[in-house]
Amino acid sequence: MKLAESMEMASKILADATKGVVFTGAGISAESGVPTYRGHGGATWSKYDPSRYANIDNFFSEPEYFWSFFKEVRSRVLSDCHPNPGHGAITELQKRGIVHRIITQNIDGLHQLAGSQNVIELHGNTRFFDCLDCGNVHSLDDIVKMQKETLVPKCQACGGVVKPRVVFFGDALDSETLQNATEAVASCDVILIIGSTLQVYPAAQLPIIVAKRKKPIIIANYGSTELDPIATCRLEGKASEILPALVDSLSDSSTNNPKPESPK
């Protein structure tokens, strides 16, 4: 199917939706300067073996690996990244009453910075760092400052172990968060998936639940994904171009928030 035809199909599906779920991965933030893990725009895990740099057991036994990765690869990018037009388009779909939940695998907090509400962060958020001993919370700025002095930051209050509020490889997802995401896909009328290779579970299980319910699956991605075979339609390209175009293609009459009548 040509892109124009897929866009038309996606636009028609979304025009009828009132309980859409958006499901995002690293690709939505690629154009904000955050490198992806796999596929276009990044090869993070081929350079930094996750079993060494992002595994929970290793985080405790050899913390200098994670923290050197964080210092070199993540902290500068995260301190200086901003939402792009793709994030903005998702917020617009939510404002129009088409999308009601956003599920993200990303830990960069950019959906919220773009004004999106009801964001379910499956893998946590790397702007918060908890002391595992006293519960003191540190900000990204705190960590950046501490890492100028010492590679492995320690709690400012008690000297305890500080951990980013994210899910590491080998960690379980927060059960309530996963439950909320599962409920969202179990009741949605469409899922719009953006910028994910759909290789990591249990996150990638969520679109499969939608497929079993025989609801439409729209995949917008630069490059192929594992679940392309079950997509109702696929929009190939960059999120910051495709998503605003998709919003533009939805006519005003298709929105689910009818404009208030003007006073007589």
Binding interface with Zn ion (CB under 5 A)? 131, 133-134, 136, 155, 157-158, 160
- Smallest separation, CB 169 to ligand APR (Å): 7
DSSP code string of 138-149 = EEHHHHHHHHHH
Nearer to ligand APR, 68 or 199 (CB): 199
**With the C-alpha atoms ordered 29, 229, 123, 22, is the resulting torsion angle positive or negative?**
positive
Residue 123 interacts with, from Zn ion, ligand APR, none (CB under 5-8 Å by kind): ligand APR
Task: Report how many residues bind ligand APR under the rule CB under 6 A.
Answer: 24
- Smallest separation, CB 149 to ligand APR (Å): 28
**With the C-alpha atoms ordered 255, 109, 217, 190, is the resulting torsion angle positive or negative?**
negative
How far, CA to CA in Å, does 17 sit from each of 79, 190, 194, 214, 263? 35, 7, 17, 14, 29
| Unique residue bearing structure tokens 């636009």 | 11
Spot the catalytic one: 100, 111, 123, 138: 123
Residue 131 interacts with, from Zn ion, ligand APR, none (CB under 5-8 Å by kind): Zn ion
Whether 191 contacts 185, CB under 8 Å = yes
- Amino acid identity, position 29: S
Q: Does the footprint of ligand APR cover residue 27 (CB under 6 A)? A: yes
* Out of 78, 90, 191, 239, the residue judged to bind ligand APR by CB under 6 A: 239
Residue 197 interacts with, from ligand APR, Zn ion, none (CB under 5-8 Å by kind): ligand APR
Put the strands of the sheet holding 137-139 in their side by side order: 137-139, 124-131, 162-166
- Smallest separation, CB 140 to Zn ion (Å): 17
Whether residue 87 lies in the annotated active site: no
Q: Which pair of structure tokens corresponds to residue 210?
A: 């939608």
Report which of 24, 29, 46, 67 is spatially closest to residue 153, judged by C-alpha positions. 67
Q: Which of residues 88-147 bind ligand APR (CB under 6 A)?
A: 105, 123
Q: Which residues are catalytic?
A: 123
Residues in contact with ligand APR by the rule CB under 6 A: 25-27, 30-31, 36-41, 105, 123, 195-197, 199-200, 221-223, 225, 238-239
